[in-house]
């Protein structure tokens, strides 16, 4: 009970901190509460120098860098820029630049808190200014690049007189036709030789080389075949087959560079076509890098349509803002494979993760297992659940990748060590084992697990979907036992939705105002983290917060117990598993951090240094 009271006190404090920057209202997603909440987009760029947290006399927290407000963007501290607040190796909170006070950037805390001399680290990846040089500035790929890079992209048309922007330290060159490079290459290779990055479309590169790269026609959708996992193909293991094509009439098209580079050439082959006879992705070392990829022929919408879902992934990766943790997994793994991967991870990290039997339908093949990481008993418990619907395998594999990141800590991130010291994290990767095995949403009894919870169960119209009574199904019982009996402080379930509904956190209907403020704060930080990383259709991928509908659901029920509860909704399928997995891992990490920060006891302010006391003057000795 004392822990619960402490949680509410901290959450109330967070709500007060977040009140100054309440999120805007956004569009409604199907199945969510009308009038769903959407956070403002935050941040324009990273800081260019180490920053400290200072405090003015009136108590306003400020960044220790005095700049003119109209020049703030040039210093990397525009209004909306988001920072991680770190005290040594400990995460203290997250804050954003809310305004300028007498030319001092002032902070508003989104999560946690801070004090003087805390370090401020930019959340958004350091993306350079990029100049797009193209002969069709209104083409689909130009609009998608603008969605990806936003304020960092400058567009110029290829012509006899090109206006080159001196701010831009990277270039993208796209040529749809014409004879621009017949007189030589004045813009791509020379810039790369100066040590810069240049991304060149396949057709433009073929013109630079004096070759022809005609469209290759196919009767069926075609793929790229990765050869190396390095550079901008990180996350795509060798032999990955990535759908990459455009539609033309009743067939499909793609474009390649003829032949395969030899070992003694500057060109490094990263991917070929299906026949393995032609080059699909190249990296050319000219002092700087020249990255060659086909950006024109995939005619579908980036991040959304088949054949084009990964269209901008390689470009974002080359620019330094691409996927951070994800691994490409284009098809659903079997249940036994998922459990074996978790078991192998537990064997590798014997002291870091514990496997436990949680329940099942009486048959071993339907057993439900959990994997617990982090601190031992006595620390707050946070529960992460996957596959309430049997078809939602993307959530299960994302939880596996999350466990790998937490245990392996590939970037040596001190926030992960801090998190594992302060919380217990229980992962339930597959709750609907029968549905998962048979690739169906309901379980063996025809019940949708997410409708089998004791939250407005009587009012739910679909009697078959809800089950014969609340918690009649094994997967729902496992969630109840974990949240209620183990007194979980937070619960997050991962589900998959369609693109129109969008990527989002669906919060528990009865979530308290402090919990709502907490979720809005973490989504603001998460959006800053994902900035410049992915595009879905014609928009940069950003999440929002919505409210669950009046219906039974795991999140609604967990929220009614007092726990911080939500459902994370990702979109798509195996083709865009890189995007889904990366978003899910980042979202889970930030959910864990937000929950952990809300449970931290505020540190007392440091005591002011004591003034040295002067020794009393010695009286002269009596004569």
For 410-448, write each residue's pLDDT tens digit. Answer: 999 999 999 999 999 999 999 999 999 999 999 999 999
Least confident of 63-67, 94-98, 466-470: 63-67
pLDDT score, position 29? 40
Output the six-digit token pair for 91.
């995460």
Nearest to 226 by CA among 202, 244, 199, 212: 244
Residue 14 belongs to what H/E stretch? helix 2-18
For 223-261, write each residue's pLDDT tens digit. Answer: 999 999 999 999 999 999 999 999 999 999 999 998 888
Would you place residue 20 in the very low, low, confident or very high pLDDT band (cuts 50, 70, 90)?
very low
pLDDT score, position 222? 96
How many residues are recorded in the chain? 623
Least confident of 40-54, 138-152, 518-532: 40-54
Contact by Cβ (8 Å): 544, 506: no
pLDDT score, position 365? 80
Least confident of 272-276, 370-374, 390-394, 519-523: 272-276
C-alpha dist (Å) from residue 102 to 99, 133, 436: 10, 40, 59
For 558-568, write each residue's pLDDT tens digit. Answer: 999 999 999 99
Would you place residue 97 in the very low, low, confident or very high pLDDT band (cuts 50, 70, 90)?
very high
Q: What are phi and psi of 82, to 5 degrees?
A: -110, 140
Residue 48 has pLDDT above 90, yes or no: no
For the chain, counts of helices (H) and of strands (E): 14, 30
pLDDT score, position 378? 84
pLDDT score, position 616? 61
Output the six-digit token pair for 308.
């084009």
pLDDT score, position 414? 95
Residue 592 belongs to what H/E stretch? helix 577-599
pLDDT above 90 covers what percent of the chain? 72
Alpha helices in 150-298 (DSSP H): 189-193, 202-208
Contact by Cβ (8 Å): 569, 496: yes
User: Mean pLDDT across the stretch 259-271?
Assistant: 87
pLDDT score, position 602? 65
Contact by Cβ (8 Å): 147, 540: yes
Residue 14 has pLDDT above 90, yes or no: no
| Separation CA 597–CA 382 (nearest Å) | 12
Q: Exposed, middle or buried by CB within 10 Å (0-12, 13-18, 19+), for 377?
A: exposed
- The residue with greater pLDDT, 270 or 159, is 270
Output the six-digit token pair for 7.
């949680």
Residue 316 has pLDDT above 70, yes or no: yes
Residue 43 has pLDDT above 50, yes or no: no
Residue 320 has pLDDT above 50, yes or no: yes
What is the DSSP code (8-state) at residue 548? B
Tell me the chain's radius of gyration from C-alpha atoms: 27
Neighbouring CB atoms inside 10 A of 263's CB total 6
Residue 214 CB partners (closer than 8 Å, separation 6+) = 255
pLDDT score, position 619? 61
pLDDT score, position 37? 59
Residue 481 CB partners (closer than 8 Å, separation 6+) = 358, 359
Strand ordering across the sheet containing 424-428: 353-359, 368-374, 424-428, 381-386, 490-497, 564-571, 504-507, 544-547
Residue 118 has pLDDT above 50, yes or no: yes
- The residue with greater pLDDT, 403 or 55, is 403
For 486-503, write each residue's pLDDT tens digit. Answer: 999 999 999 999 999 999
User: Mean pLDDT across the stretch 359-381?
Assistant: 87
Residue with tokens 């098209």: 253
User: Mean pLDDT for the chain?
Assistant: 87
Residue 378 CB partners (closer than 8 Å, separation 6+) = none
Residue 212 CB partners (closer than 8 Å, separation 6+) = 206, 258
Residue 19 has pLDDT above 80, yes or no: no
pLDDT score, position 54? 81
Instruction: Render the burial of 61-98: b for 16+ CB within 10 Å, e for the rest.
Output: bbbebebebeebeebbbbbbbbbbbbbeebbbbbbbbb
pLDDT score, position 361? 65
- The residue with greater pLDDT, 127 or 102, is 127
pLDDT score, position 495? 97
Output the six-digit token pair for 577.
């598993």
| Separation CA 85–CA 561 (nearest Å) | 31
Output the six-digit token pair for 133.
């040089």
User: Mean pLDDT across the stretch 552-556?
Assistant: 97
């Amino acid at each position: 009970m004392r822990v619960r009271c402490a949680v509410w006190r901290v959450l109330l404090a967070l709500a007060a901190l977040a009140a100054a920057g309440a999120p805007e209202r956004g569009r409604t997603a199907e199945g969510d509460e009308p009038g769903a909440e959407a956070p403002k987009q935050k941040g324009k760029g990273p800081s260019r120098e180490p920053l400290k947290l200072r405090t003015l006399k009136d108590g306003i927290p400020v960044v220790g860098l005095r700049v003119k407000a109209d020049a703030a963007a040039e210093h990397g501290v525009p209004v909306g820029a988001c920072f991680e607040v770190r005290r040594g190796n400990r995460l203290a909170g997250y804050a954003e630049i809310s305004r300028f006070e007498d030319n001092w950037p002032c902070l508003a805390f989104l999560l946690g808190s801070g004090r003087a001399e805390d370090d401020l680290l930019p959340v958004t990846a350091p993306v350079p200014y990029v100049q797009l040089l193209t002969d069709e500035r209104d083409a689909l790929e130009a609009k998608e690049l603008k969605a990806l890079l936003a304020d960092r992209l400058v567009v110029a048309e290829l012509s006899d007189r090109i206006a080159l922007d001196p701010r831009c330290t990277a270039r993208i060159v796209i040529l749809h036709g014409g004879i621009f490079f017949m007189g030589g290459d004045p813009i791509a290779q020379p810039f790369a030789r100066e040590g810069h990055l240049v991304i060149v479309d396949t057709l433009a590169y073929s013109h630079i080389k004096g070759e022809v790269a005609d469209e290759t026609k196919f009767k069926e959708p075609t793929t790229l075949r990765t050869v190396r996992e390095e550079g901008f193909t990180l996350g795509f293991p060798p032999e990955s087959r990535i759908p990459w094509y455009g539609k033309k009439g009743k067939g499909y098209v793609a474009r390649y560079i003829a032949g395969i580079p030899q070992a003694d050439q500057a060109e490094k082959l990263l991917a070929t076509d299906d026949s393995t006879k032609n080059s699909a992705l190249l990296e050319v070392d000219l002092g700087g890098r020249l990255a060659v990829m086909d950006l024109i022929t995939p005619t579908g919408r980036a991040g959304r349509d088949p054949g084009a879902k990964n269209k901008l992934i390689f470009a974002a990766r080359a620019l330094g803002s691409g996927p951070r943790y994800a691994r490409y997994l284009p098809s659903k793994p079997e249940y036994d494979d998922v459990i074996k991967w978790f078991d192998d991870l537990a064997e590798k990290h014997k002291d870091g993760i514990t496997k436990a039997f949680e329940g099942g339908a009486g048959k071993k093949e339907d057993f439900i297992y959990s994997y617990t990481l982090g601190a031992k008993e006595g620390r707050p418990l946070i529960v992460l659940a996957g596959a309430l619907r049997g078809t939602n395998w993307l959530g299960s594999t994302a939880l596996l990748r999350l466990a790998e990141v937490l245990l392996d800590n590939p970037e040596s991130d001190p926030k992960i060590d801090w998190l594992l010291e302060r919380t217990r994290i229980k992962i339930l990767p597959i709750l609907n084992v029968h549905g998962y095995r048979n690739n169906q949403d309901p379980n063996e009894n025809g019940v949708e697990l997410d409708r089998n919870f004791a939250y407005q169960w009587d009012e739910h119209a679909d009697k078959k979907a809800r089950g014969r009574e609340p918690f009649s199904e094994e997967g729902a019982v496992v969630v109840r036992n974990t949240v209620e009996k183990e007194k979980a402080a937070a619960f997050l379930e991962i589900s998959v939705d369609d693109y129109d509904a969008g990527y989002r956190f669906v919060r528990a209907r009865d979530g308290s105002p402090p919990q709502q403020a907490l979720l809005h704060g973490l989504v603001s930080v998460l959006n800053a983290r994902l900035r410049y990383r992915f595009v879905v259709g014609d928009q940069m991928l950003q999440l929002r917060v919505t409210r669950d509908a009046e219906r039974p659901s795991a999140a609604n029920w967990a929220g009614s117990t007092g726990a911080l509860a939500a459902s994370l909704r990702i979109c798509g399928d195996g083709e865009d598993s890189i995007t889904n997995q990366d978003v899910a891992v980042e979202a889970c990490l930030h959910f864990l951090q937000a929950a952990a920060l809300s449970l931290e006891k505020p540190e007392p302010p440091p005591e002011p240094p004591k003034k040295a006391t002067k020794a009393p003057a010695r009286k002269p000795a009596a004569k």
